[in-house]
Chain A
Amino acid sequence: MANIFPKWTNHLPIQILVAGGVLFISVIAGMTYYFTPKYTRVGYQPVQPVPFSHSIHVNQLGLDCRYCHSQVENAAHSNLPTTQTCMNCHSQIKLNSPRLATVRDSWKTGQPIAWVRIHEAPDYVYFNHSAHVNRGVSCVSCHGQINNMAVVWHHEPQSMDWCLTCHRAPENHLRPVNQVTNLNWKPEDEGPGKDGKLRTQQEIGEQLKVAWNVNPPVTCAGCHR
């Protein structure tokens, strides 16, 4: 009987196996990197209707987050400022700046400014801002150093994995409540402890966790109500 397959095909099975293995690992690695919120969300930086710079307003002028996002301590939703909030100052400064034309139009017509939403929890997730900021979770933990951003971008993945990492170990993110809107706060700022040494984030966090009975839910119904 003549050979059905030529001799070189003897190596084919092992080659197919190796190529298949490489392909499999590449697909898994590719999906792990490209198909997760670490890649799909982080870095999202849409162009906003008004070139508002958080960096100028917070770092240079020293505005507190809560001056504009005024309901963050009281409500589940952290509100965006109304045009009236902008006009508190801009009725007197930079009256004719072309960069504020949209704000003035809004002020005249009463039509709110159509800000482009960046951070959006899915509708099956119940998230409450006030529950977090009133227990010492800073803005920076979820939004990054907004105070340094000229144009805001999505800084954290905000995936379920990311939420649970903090819910399972909140001590890594807790700080004194009066420092929640201080995005430049560092654990060293709290000064030395009783032993004279500077305290770490873990020490501060553990202490606050006990003091405030911080016990974040890790069951499904905690967030998916």
Chain B
Amino acid sequence: MADTAIETAPPAAQFDPEMVRQVTKLPLVTNNRDFHWVTEKVSGIVEMKTPGWWWIAFFPAAVLAGCCIGGFVYLISTGVGVWGQNSPVMWAWDITNFVFWIGIGHAGTLISAILFLTRQKWRTSINRAAEAMTLFAVICAGLYPGLHVGRLWMAWYLVPVGNANAIWQNFRSPLLWDVFAVGTYFTVSVIFWYVGLIPDLATIRDRATNKVKKFIYALLALGWRGGNRHWRNYEKAYLILAGISTPLVLSVHTIVSFDFATSIVPGWHTTIFPPYFVAGAIFGGFAMVLTLMLPARHLLGLQDLVTKKHVDVMTKIILLTGSIVGYAYIMEFFIAWYSQNPFEQWAFLRNRVSAPFTKWMFDVPNAPYWWAYWAMMSCNVISPQVFWFRYCRQNLWIVFTICMCVNAGMWFERFVIIVTSIANDFLPGSWGMYAPTWVDIITFTGSFGLFLSLFLLFCRFLPMIAMSEVKGVLPAADPHFHPPGHDAPGGDDHSTGLGAGVRMITPAPSTGH
């Protein structure tokens, strides 16, 4: 037990160097960085000359985003038939992409809201970027159902406003509640993100050397002066918004799952869907946070702020949620057998599971989509199991590779749920296979370009780490903090940023890096 080890550590007067090494490893900001360093580091990213790698990353991302927009323009001007879906597969890549992107957003909200309310201080150095990721993911997600309606100019029918038809939307339909859920989610996430940004925007404003920049950041900072009253109001607003966002972490993907679960299609009509979807969303979301943060951390030199400890915690969450998702997959399969419903059994065994390598177990023909099912299984359930080992959680290449697997696996999960269920349902006479068209392919791959372009712009123009919050978890923010070298009696409390239970033995000045 790490905590006990620290609690019972010998007084600082007679510390042993090994103990100091272990303890100084724990802080949330490594290398004893101070307030000034945090400001310089994070503001510096916004203020520096655009680095070469940024252009190398941004240019292809922007081209890809352009392809996505071009595909959408072609779709709107020609008709929704340029996508590959047709009877019987009426929901295909578009809805798959929608659920994929909306799920990714969930990690940002979980980090910003639930981890805030539960006082998880490690959230501070990743919450800003994760929230930005949420917003960009929801933007990507929102494109697909909007275009899926076919006539984009009629998309306002999704909103219950007065119209010349004297009809209302079907309030019993989960599709309508999906619109509400996603709309609320996006609005609250934007406000939450922006409120959190205000103190940092003021910092950038105060440091700005150029008149135009000063004007823009001053406009965005809403006149923040950092006074006591400002902070009191800010903290209250932030707490309230965290409270509002917390149920959204659970509700949004629950309602997305209702889009399927309330139907009668075998493979969709499943009561396990809401918790299974929420766990999957958090799972996929954390994988995407790591996918973005690992390169960003390296390229921007944020190793002291986004430490291996952060990576470790996030991989543990991936392991947990990945195992929940794996349980759900197996439970669905079990229920198909246990219910003895032939259609349900067909959906799972004959559409999804039965593969060349399961012949020894199920002697039935190969399922038409077995490759998608097994891609999902291996990426989502098997691959994250390596995170049981500390070595795999600490090796960033392994972490990155597994996160890429999870990203792919979560897309396949939605594809498997949506397409395999409706391709072959009740009537063999209406069975069919689905194949994407080139428009499907560019509107999907292009959404990654859009997502990355937005994220790169965010990194370049906004403080991507919450400076004020990170400073709050530095040891120096603790009122009982004694700077090293001052009178530091062994019995005093020293914050490690890990809460009251963990005390830090003041490192001797000579051991500081």
Contacts and interface: CB of A to CB of B under 8 A. Distances in A.
Interface stretch (A55-63, A112-120, A160-168, A191-199): A160-168
B162 interface: yes
Contact of A36 (B164, B167, B205, B214): B164
Contacts of A164: 165-167
A127 to B, nearest CB: 15
Nearest to B225: A1
Nearest to B211: A4
Pick from A4, A36, A159 the residue with the most CB of B within 10 Å: A4
B215 interface: yes
A155 B214 CA distance: 60
A20 B389 CA distance: 57
A36 B164 CA distance: 6
A4 B218 contact: yes
Interface string B205-227: 11000000011001000000000
A37 interface: yes
18 contacts: A4-B214, A4-B215, A32-B162, A36-B164, A37-B164, A38-B164, A157-B164, A159-B165, A160-B164, A160-B165, A160-B166, A160-B167, A161-B163, A161-B164, A161-B165, A161-B166, A164-B166, A165-B166
A38 B164 CA distance: 9
B149 to A, nearest CB: 16
Interface string A138-178: 00000000000000000001011100110000000000000
Contacts of A1: 206
A36 B162 CA distance: 11
Interface of A: 1, 4-5, 32, 36-38, 157, 159-161, 164-165
B215 to A, nearest CB: 7
A38 B162 CA distance: 14
Contacts of A157: 164
A56 to B, nearest CB: 35
B127 to A, nearest CB: 28
Nearest to A4: B218
Nearest to A218: B167
Nearest to A164: B166
Interface string B460-503: 00000000000000000000000000000000000000000000
Contacts of B165: 159-161, 164
Contacts of B164: 36-38, 157, 159-161
B202 to A, nearest CB: 11
Nearest to B206: A1
Nearest to A38: B164
Pick from A5, A38, A157 the residue with the most CB of B within 10 Å: A5
A39 to B, nearest CB: 10
A1 B206 CA distance: 9
Interface in B129-166: 162-166
Contacts of A5: 218
Contacts of B206: 1
Contacts of A37: 164
Pick from A37, A38, A157, A159 the residue with the most CB of B within 10 Å: A159
Q: Which 4 pairs across A and B sit closest by C-beta, in order of nearness?
A: A161-B166, A160-B165, A4-B218, A36-B164
Nearest to A3: B218
A32 B166 CA distance: 13
B16 to A, nearest CB: 50
A5 B218 CA distance: 9
A36 B166 CA distance: 12
B312 to A, nearest CB: 42
Contacts of B205: 4
A165 B164 CA distance: 11
Contacts of A4: 205, 214-215, 218
B168 to A, nearest CB: 11
Given A159-B165, A161-B166, A164-B167, 14 more contacts: A1-B206, A4-B205, A4-B218, A37-B164, A38-B164, A157-B164, A159-B164, A160-B165, A160-B166, A160-B167, A161-B165, A164-B165, A164-B166, A165-B166
Contacts of B214: 4
A1 B214 CA distance: 12
B296 to A, nearest CB: 30
Interface string B161-192: 01111110000000000000000000000000
A161 B205 CA distance: 53
A36 B218 CA distance: 43
B254 to A, nearest CB: 28
Pick from B163, B164, B165, B218 the residue with the most CB of A within 10 Å: B164
A222 to B, nearest CB: 12
B324 to A, nearest CB: 40
Pick from B163, B166, B205, B215 the residue with the most CB of A within 10 Å: B166
